[in-house]
Amino acid sequence: MAGSTQTVSEYITHHLTNLTYGKLPGGFERRGEDGAITTVGDGGAWVMANGATEASAMGFSAIHVDSMMWSIGLGIIFCWLFRRVAKKAETGVPSGMVNAVEMIVEFVDSTVRDTFHGQNKMIAPLALTIFVWVLLMNLMDLVPIDLVPKVLEIVAGVHFQKIVPSTDPNITLGMAVGVFILMLYYSVKIKGVGFLRELSFTPFNHWAFIPVNLFMEIVGLLAKPFSLGLRLFGNLYAGEMIFILIAALFSAGVGWMIPAGLLQVAWGIFHLLVIPLQAFIFMVLTIVYLSMAYEDH
């Protein structure tokens, strides 16, 4: 809930700021919590950013510690959980978590069989990893917006904490770039020189149109990772923003308590559809793009 000393704008800005570690340039003036100003030395300084301004000044060297921590942590949970279920699986009627995991595995496997037209044993495990990992990251959006940041601030003195990795474009675009690299690898591996021929003679099958073809095909190729990563980021970021705006209503007075609570519940229920849908879309597009790498024109 918004603090009494914060305006709504400050509350929103605070919740949209990542816990950032990076190098501040020499000569940068830092303002402490007590208002005191210190100047960074000539060599710069590697520090935790004290707000969005410092994070921006760090530039490309900045690392979003919270996004990295939560995404890696959720990945470890995924690996541990599925390994534990795999060790418990046995013949007979499954129950509980084993049944849920088997349903997910069968669902992903059938999707891969229907969508991927090549022969590659890595695609199904990759699709399963992407689906469950993105799903777990998206599910963090259902945790009350102030709960984890407030607990970490009280216990560890951490002032900034974004717990939904998929609302960070660095995470979503990083995953998309990984898929893009696999696309290029399998395109070259399967098609060889035919991949260059495909770029040069599609859609106009004539040597005079090679420059036009290359321009259109390369733009279309580069658009795939951007659309893949930004689609996931945009949907989850918008969802988180609405949760923050609804949470800010609680500070508007007692009369807004009930409407804000109802809005939180309603948006949470709607978001239960968005969360698995976005994970499914990311997985399916990954399978489709890799299948295209195997297809010859």
Catalytic residues: 227, 231, 235
- The Cα diameter of the chain in Å comes to 72
- Give the C-alpha separation, 21 to 62, whole Å: 6
CA distance 114 to 288: 10
Which of 224, 229, 260, 226 is closest to 242 using CA atoms? 260
What does the DSSP assignment read for 20-44?
Answer: EEEEEPTTPEEE-TTS-EEE--TT-
Q: Which two tokens stand for residue 148?
A: 């984890």
- Type and span of the H or E element at 46: strand 45-48
Give the C-alpha separation, 93 to 227, whole Å.
41
Counts for the chain of helices (H) and strands (E), in that order: 10, 5
The label of the residue with tokens 């960074």 reads: 40
Alpha-carbon distance 142 to 272, whole Å?
A: 8
Classified as helix, coil or strand, 94 is coil
Instruction: Judge contact between 250 and 3, C-beta under 8 A.
Output: no
Cβ(19)–Cβ(170) under 8 Å? no
Tell me the C-alpha distance between 64 and 263, whole Å: 30
